[in-house]
Amino acid sequence: MTTLPPDWRFVTRHPAHFLAFGLGSGLAPKAPGTFGTLAALPLYYAIAWFATPAELYLIIAIAAVGGIWICGKTGRDLGVADYGGIVWDEIAAFWIVLAATPQTPLWVAAAFGLFRLFDIWKPLPINWFDAHLKNGFGVMFDDLLAAGYTLLVLFLAQKLLP
């Protein structure tokens, strides 16, 4: 367990901490979730540049499932299960959104805005799961639900807009 707030020493002490803090983006003093989601963009595009679509989807699945352990380990070491600087959940969930979003600046910006809206607002049932699941799975699950809401709105927008 560490004394809050965590610093670079904590983040670099263990690979899970480094990933959980989004390669350091979660150390942002304000809006770490937004900075983590922003960090997801270049990471996603770097992976997508080198990976086949199948490899990309596999990496995203590993990031999401592995995030349960990454976020859980870091939360336990911090003594706070869902510390705001843990942003791997935003990164992995936003990668899912990016993989299903048309790759134009407007759609990606809309995806970013919607994802942040749902992650911050936490409409039902996201807020229930966020309040009741306090472990690595819970940290990941509410962001995966926010990604699902984002994808639903983007899908409807694609169908309804000319």
Output DSSP code: residue 82.
T
Q: What are phi and psi of 73, to 5 degrees?
A: -60, -45
Please state, in angstroms and rounded to a whole number, the distance separating the CA atoms of residues 59 and 45. 12
Please state, in angstroms and rounded to a whole number, the distance separating the CA atoms of residues 101 and 123. 22
Q: What is the pLDDT of residue 5?
A: 87
88-136 pLDDT, tens digit each:
999 999 999 999 999 999 999 999 999 999 999 999 999 999 999 889 9
153 contact partners, CB below 8 Å, separation of at least 6: 114
145 contact partners, CB below 8 Å, separation of at least 6: 118, 125, 126, 129
98 in helix, strand or coil? helix
Q: What is the pLDDT of residue 8?
A: 96
3-44 pLDDT, tens digit each:
678 999 999 999 999 999 999 999 999 999 999 999 999 999
Output DSSP code: residue 3.
P
DSSP codes joined into one string, 17-36: HHHHTGGGGGG-SS-HHHHH
Distances from the Cα of 93 to the Cα of 3, 5, 7, 68, 89, angstroms: 28, 25, 24, 12, 6
Quick check: 89 and 140 in contact, CB under 8 A? Answer: yes
Confidence of residue 83 (pLDDT cuts 50, 70, 90): very high
Quick check: 130 and 84 in contact, CB under 8 A? Answer: no
pTM over 0.85: yes
